[in-house]
Amino acid sequence: MIHSDKGSQYTSSLFEGTLRSAGIKHAYSRKGHPYDNARIESFHSLIKRELTYHEEYRTIDDVRLSVEW
C-alpha cells in the first residue's frame, strides 16, 4: 500500500495504472480530512528522527532489520 495526497501526479491514470499493475493499493486522505493519516505520518517522522537518520544502510534488508528491531 502507498499513501499520497491528491496531487495531480498521484491521481493520474499513468500513476494509478502503474500501481495497479504492480498490485499496490493506493490510499489518500479524504477531501477536507487532512488528519486521516496523521498517526502514521507521525510514526514515520519518529522513525526517521530516532532511527534512520542516524544509520547508514547498504541494502533494503538492512533497513528492514533495523526497523523491525
Which pLDDT belongs to residue 27?
82
pTM value surpassing 0.85: no
Which pLDDT belongs to residue 55?
87
CA distance 20 to 25: 7
Which pLDDT belongs to residue 7?
72
Radius of gyration of the chain (CA): 15
Which pLDDT belongs to residue 1?
83
Q: Find cell 519518529 and name the residue.
A: 46
| Domain residue limits, the chain | 1-34, 37-69
pLDDT in tens, 3-55: 777 777 778 899 889 999 999 998 877 777 767 777 778 888 888 888 888 88
